[in-house]
Amino acid sequence: MTIRVLLADDQALLAGTFRLLIEAHDDMEVVGVVEDGRKAVEQARAVKPDVVVMDIRMPGLDGVAATELIRRDETLRDTRVLILTTFEIDEYVTRSLRAGAGGFLGKGASPEELLGAIRTVAAGGTLLSPTATKALMGRYLDLPEAGPAAPDVLGVLTAREREVMAQAAEGLSNGEIAERMHVSPLTVRTHVGRAMTKLGARHRAHLVAMAYQSGLVRVNPPRPGQDSRNVGG
């Protein structure tokens, strides 16, 4: 099945580059390109894309507000949103997740990472870049109500669920976890969903926070040249 993608970005050169990249792959097609949030909502209602690749800072209606309007629209229940931005800061990540975004990725991502993120979000998965994951950790772990979670809180999880939870805390997507564990992305998604239900996690970022709070994974300062994906792992 071809993934139908709507691009929303006010930088025409970047939008054109993304379009060429996406349309070079047989399993994707671009069904529209718009330059602001309001037009993104209007075009989404008109063409019903599978995924909207949404910038945040755009004139008029910003990408977060546009995402919320799209996710609240009953006629767009099957449309998912991938935030693609230069600014991977905790405020934007948190607002985007609350608005209903299915993924959050920096514009510094590689072409393969962008394409993989689109496929992950289109399949109903959730994806956070390593930088976005770390930004959220700073916010969650600083909250007074967050507090350290008791290690035995994870006792309700199976060994596989704990393993998936730990790898999600590294910022890995479901597809990347599946490759490491030699299982299907659907199996990983199921484990993530069950872990969230058992632990009462509101979303994937909350689940990741609990992995750190419980001591399942630890925050370690990266060594010079170390990839941020390996921090805490």
Q: Could you list the residue range(s) of the whole structural domain that residue 123 is in?
A: 3-128
173-195 per-position pLDDT tens digit: 778 888 999 999 889 989 998 99
Between 111 and 233, the higher pLDDT residue: 111
- What CATH number did the domain enclosing 110 receive? 3.40.50.2300
- In whole angstroms, give the CA distance from residue 132 to residue 194: 23
Helices 159-168 and 204-213, packing angle to 10 deg: 100
Q: Are 127 and 120 in contact (CB under 8 A)?
A: yes
Range name among 45-49, 95-99, 202-206 with the lowest pLDDT average: 202-206
> Which tokens sit at 201?
């996690």
- In whole angstroms, give the CA distance from residue 139 to residue 128: 15
- Checking if the pLDDT of 41 tops 50, the result is yes
Nearest to 36 by CA among 77, 13, 3, 7: 7
- Checking if the pLDDT of 148 tops 70, the result is no
Helices 111-122 and 12-23, packing angle to 10 deg: 70
Residue 73 domain flag: yes
58-112 per-position pLDDT tens digit: 988 999 999 999 999 999 999 999 999 886 666 677 788 788 888 888 888 889 9
- Checking if the pLDDT of 131 tops 80, the result is no
> Which tokens sit at 132?
């976005």
pLDDT at 16: 93
Residues 122 and 141 in one domain: no
Residues 95 and 78 in one domain: yes
Q: Are 166 and 217 in contact (CB under 8 A)?
A: yes
pTM, two decimal places = 0.67
Between 47 and 171, the higher pLDDT residue: 47
Residue 229 domain flag: no
Residues 141 and 122 in one domain: no
Please report the sign of the dihedral spanned by the C-alpha atoms of residue 85, residue 202, residue 151, residue 164.
Answer: negative
Number of domains in the chain: 2
